[in-house]
Structures are given as structure tokens and as C-alpha cells.
A and B are shown apart, each in its own frame.
Chain A
């Protein structure tokens, strides 16, 4: 469980990027941060990950939540080390913590469907596969919270949808808290129960939309009318937000 209290951020002598953002993230929730480019959503994620410091305000972590070991982050680029095989890349966090066993790495690679690629190197993997390795690496430490910063933005639509499906089903099985940054409305609607809509100049929370569907979420959801309606709704909301911001 994570709480943000009036988090503001200014970079050096630049403009205000985040303006007193307050947010509560419940345990086990899948929350998307949705908004136009430049609204500070990535910055917010990085502040939660402690890669940036807020200029004012604070981030509170619930009991028993250790930032270093319970929170994992997945970036937009896979950020794999080219001289390490898939399994060695995945095991990097454990290795740096002093644990040299490969078991967990192999398990998690199987989880993301790459059991046949464990000894392959990044230059031998497709973009989608590399992203899976990156996700596997984030999962190898058994995190409670998964932070994802537009992880599928650089992939083609087919691959993106496939990975969305797999991520969804993994989350449904494991129950991590996921904070997912995206600018893609359909992705946000598909994946998350909660969409936090942000505006920019400066970055603020505009509204928080609850996304609920009848029946379980599966890949079939994309063909359903309820899904399409919700997407259109949110898109027009975003358009208004855009309009107001300019």
C-alpha cells in the first residue's frame, strides 16, 4: 500500500512538473496513470521508485513494505545488458544482492514463456521477447509492487496486445500491486481497474476512473461492446482534459 502526500516536483530551475499530487494505491490493485506526454506521470512513477526525489510532499509505504526489495520497476526500454544471456540478465538483481543461484531466474523465464530462450542473448531476441526478459527480471525478486513505465510503447500493436494479455493473466494469478504508466487509452482500460487521469502544465490528477466489467477480464474482452464503450468514453474525457490544458 502506497500513499503519496502532496508530491510536487520541479527539475532544477525548470517549470513545475508535478503540482501537489496526492494518491492512494491499495494493495493488489492494478492502477494506470494515464495522460498526455509531459504530464509528469513517468516522473511520478520514478519518485515512487525512489529514482527521483520530490521537491516537496512525501511518499509513504505501508507496513512491511521495503522499498529496495519489494518494489520492482520495468522501464520503457528493456535495458538488458547485451553481454549477458537472458537468464543472466534476469538473475542480475539477485546476483547483485549476493545470490548466485539461477533457479528463480529459470522459473520466472518459464513464467513469461521464454523457457526456450534462457541462453539466448539480447541480440538474438525480438523486441517483444526482450521486453519479456525485462519483466521477468522485475519479477525475479518476488516483488510486492510492480512499477511499469510505458513498457509496451515501443512495440507493435500485435505484440503489445499479446503482452497485455499475458501481463493481465500473470497479475490475476499473483496479485501484485501494479502501477502502470501509459498514454494508450485502450491499454489502460483493458488492464486496470483504476485509471488515474492526469493533466499537464503542471502535472495534476484530473480524475480517477473506476473500470469494471461484467465477467472476468480475458483477451476476449477486447471484442465486447462494454469494453469499446468504456474506451470511447475515456478517450473523450482525455480529449477534454487536453482541451482544458491548452
Chain B
């Protein structure tokens, strides 16, 4: 009896394993066209944060280099990095802190392009709030995803006495309704949404207090890098160009973003994308869009180890394996 059950379960597992594939989507040319189909998985609902990629899509920049890119919307818990490493999608959007965190669990994704030179991560407070700095964050309700490294950074660095947290999902409504409530956000995004709904806010930037990881990086799997570097090169170069074009004139891309994400109307997106240049075209990003430097990655790794997100200290080889700048054009 038991041996029958054992045999059955083994057969079941073999069946399961034969379902998943090792290879990322191969370039099966669609009928008639020679464009290579690629999937890009977003880490959130479409926002200005993803503007460059949408611009590449609607302006035909991807098509011009023979790429048929499909952009897949994300949401609150999309496991982008896992989908990339499993080969379900070709590219994804992941923050640098998360890249290092998941790499230690053998999810081998690599950062290719970092649009944000300054992290847009902030804590949003109402304009009328007495909170002026992170030291003042006490006795409030904090709408935050507490699993994220930035939160653990705040926990370690600041007192956060009597701070009660609630999950981000459904949080914006509570933030607006409740006294004494603060919420996580991206400086170029939520504040404009709140303003439109009549709630004026101020933002405390994480970058200002020393937590400034590269944000919203374009990533692919190590396997893809090894097997199709030429494809990756095309994607990165095209995306760089698309981003620069988007920052010049975001209107067509914003129309597409708004269509996909009705919560973001064109007006909000216009304001949202308007603030992006300040965050993206600074530092190394001014000369080479999306550039990344070793120093900042090393600092990030050290910081993450200090706050406990990374269990082990990473060697410089390990850190350097997490990203590559070789596809970035000036």
C-alpha cells in the first residue's frame, strides 16, 4: 500500500518537473515579422517610474531595433525577480537592495540600467503634521510594507517609538482619513495623487538620511546574460534612449500609462514625470543615463549587512556579480 503511494507521488513530481522549463522565452519569430518577442515585468502598477520603457514601446524605439517588447503590469506583491530567474519573463524591474537580498537566496538576477540616481523613496506626511524629520516619527500609524529594506533601515536607525504599522495595501485611503498617519511612497508619485484628492503633503527623503540604493533597475537573469548578451545589449541601449526621450517629452508614453493604470490620470503623470529629471539626470546619470558605480553598490551592501537584510558580508566579487554596466552607452 505504502509503496504504491510512494510510486504515485514520485510520478506526480516527475510530472510536475517536466512542466517547467529551464530556458527563457526563445526567439520564436511571429508570423511574418522578424522582431524578437520579449517580456518586461513591472514591479508595480504602471507609473511614471516606468516611463522610459513605455516610451520605447509607443514610440517604436524597441521595434526599430527588432524587439517586440510586451510590458506586463505588476502589483503589490509581484515576484518579479523569481519570474525573471525562472524564465517566465525576460526582463524585470527590481530595486538594487532587493537584487542583493534575493541573490543571497540564489535568485541570480543582474542589474543592467539604473534610471534613478537618487532614490525616490520617501515617507509622506501631511502638510499639517508636526513631523519635520525622521527623529520626530513617534506615536503615529505608519502605512508601510515592513518587509522592505528601507523600513528595516529606519527601524535600526531611528527610535520609532510607539509607531504602529499597517500594510500598504489599502493604505492610501487610511492615510487620508486618519489623523496621525504617515505613509511610504515615491516622491514623484503619491504626493501628486494625494494633492489631486485635496491632501497636501510633505516628504522625508530616505536618500537624505543615507539610504540611497539604485531604484527601479532593469534586470535580467544571469542565464540570459550568458546566452543572449546581444539581445540584452539591444534592450539596454534602446531603453536608455527611450528614457532620455521620455524625459524630454513624456506625453505619448503618459497617455499609454494612464490607459493602463486609470488611477494615474494624465495630469498627475505630467507632474510626476516632470520631477524625474532631477532624480535621474544627476551625478553619473547626467553623462551616461542609468549609470551605476561600484562605490554606491559597496555602500549599499555594507548598509544592508548592517541592518540585517544581508546575513553575510559580501565580497567585492559577489557585489560586482549583481550588476553590469557594460551595455550602457554614453
A and B touch in the complex (CB under 8 A): no
